[in-house]
Amino acid sequence: MDLVIRDATVVDGTATTPYRADVAVADGRIAHIAPEGTPRPSAPSTLDADGLALSPGFIDMHAHSDLAVLRDPDHSAKAAQGVTLEVLGQDGLSYAPVDDTTLAAVREAITGWNGGAPGDERIDFDWRTVGEYLDRIDRQGTAVNAAYLVPQGSVRMLAVGWDDRPATAGELARMKQLVAEGMEQGAFGMSSGLTYTPGMYASDAELTELCRVVAAHGGYYCPHHRSYGAGALEAYAEMVQLTREAGCALHLAHATMNFGVNKGRGGELLSLLDAALDEGADITLDTYPYTPGCTTLVAMLPSWANEGGPEATLARLADEETCARIRHVMEVEGADGCHGVPIEWDAIEISGVNDPELSEYIGRTVAASAAARGEEPFTTARRLLIEDRLGPTILQHVGHEENVRAIMRHRVHTGGSDGILQGAKPHPRAYGTFPRYLGHYVRELGVLSLPECVAHLTARPAARLGLRDRGLVREGYRADLVLFDPDTVAAGSTFEAPRTLPTGIPHVLVDGRPVIEDGHRTDTLPGRALRHNRP
């Protein structure tokens, strides 16, 4: 034995009653569990866990750390929360597969999510395929493990470009080939961002064909679907029907019911899902335990304004006549980028910019900045998009607490931070999702019991990913483990101080090696890129 964790209260991920035990670790795995009253194992190193809960490592089912794991190996934003595995490649846009042309375009398009804009030389983008990206993570090392989804928007960018049109037969064949290659190289499924260009230009028929490829490789489909506002229930139903037809497992990304039109309607979503589950559908979902959302300002535009890629978008924003059309759609009709709901500028808070000269806008709503300048909110938003080259990130204050609580109780719920680590004032969910579940929603509100919540954050996501040796405290499983104090665990991050680390999580082990020890980040980098259906 390398290590014995003594006198822990084991919350093992099965949602059953916790029990007291010693847990021994050897060669990166849980070697022996000795319940109280049985012979105690010994090892050269021991860790006193009296008063602490021991659980499997938390799995972040929706992370935007695609470049952070390479740029910031310390990665305390996730490690300090007890996260031992993140799922990357989300919302249909990421950095593999790409070619030289699409890499430059995607770097600019999602710089608000990940940084890495053209000209940022902190990362050598020396990969092009999914397999090469995963290999790069392994060569460099990181704090926590990573899994990857093939991003459907990036795939469409490679095969079709940024045009809003149906794919030809040849282009569809090329996309299916790219998805298959990504799955064969280790991806766990495919993601989409169906309010982001160019992925949103895909028809249901096109998506169904790609999902059939994913299903053939044993993966799952993770869509950011076509609306979380007006028509949200119809958009959820569309994804359920599409994946049922394709025979593909479905995982609904950040499954919220936002905007005023959906206040109090979380139960309707759950009824829709329960009906499908009772009919045999394979569905899971993830949520973050906050009401505001977070995305990029450019995502609020109507999709036609983003057709052709970032340079075409900037050209449209520079044209007065086109901008008048954009403004009318956003403020009167409700742009598809804003989920079919007329935009509320007083709910759009700027959380980050690329250009430090624009930092005065951070932490203020677009409406407030516009009022201070004596101009219309759209004028302010337009200026920001042009001057920051589509870089601003936003918080969108449109959620409903009753929906958040209802959805997190559901039998197929898992946790996902949707954490964007960019910007001077990011959403606190990036640093606080998992301790907030345990502290606020378990201890303070009792929305979930502690065993139930741990199962939501560990065993359920591991099962969705098909990981046969993670997600439980069980002999033979990987020693990805978290020790936390149920009486004090809490998110330190707030909207005012979003980069504050949590409290009450003194120890985190990845592959049996401490990444958090006595509440402090160690210098170990035991994380690696996991490959689907591989040891």
Return the pLDDT at 386. 97
Model confidence at 118, pLDDT cuts 50, 70, 90, reads: confident
Percent residues over pLDDT 70 in the chain: 100
All domains of the chain, ordered by start, with CATH? 61-291+399-422+452-467 (3.20.20.140), 302-395 (no CATH)
| Digit-coded pLDDT (tens) for 342-392 | 999 999 999 999 999 999 999 999 999 999 999 999 999 999 999 999 999
Greater pLDDT, 373 or 423: 373
User: Is pLDDT above 90 for 475?
Assistant: yes
Span 17-54, pLDDT tens digits: 999 999 999 999 999 999 999 999 999 999 999 999 99
Pair of tokens at residue 19: 């029990």
Q: What is the pLDDT of residue 218?
A: 98
- Tell me the pLDDT band of 145, cut-offs 50, 70 and 90: very high
Q: Are 478 and 528 in contact (CB under 8 A)?
A: no
Q: Report the candidate in 355, 90, 40 with the shortest Cα–Cα distance to residue 196.
A: 90
Locate 251 and state its tokens: 């995982």
The tokens describing 405, both together, are 């609580």
60-96 per-residue burial string, b: 16 or more CB within 10 A, e: under 16: bbbbbbbbbbbbbeebbbbbbbbbbbbbbbbbbbbbb
What kind and span of H or E run contains 232? helix 232-246
Does 109 have pLDDT greater than 80?
A: yes
Return the pLDDT at 44.
96
Whether the pLDDT of residue 122 is over 90: the answer is no
Dump pLDDT digits (tens) for 218-258: 999 999 999 999 999 999 999 999 999 999 999 999 999 99
Q: Is-contact 114 67, C-beta < 8 A?
A: yes
C-alpha to C-alpha distance for 191 and 307, rounded to whole angstroms: 20
Give pLDDT, residue 380: 97
- Average pLDDT rounded to a whole number, residues 384-411: 96
- In tens, the pLDDT along 247-302 reads 999 999 999 999 999 999 999 999 999 999 999 999 999 999 999 999 999 999 99
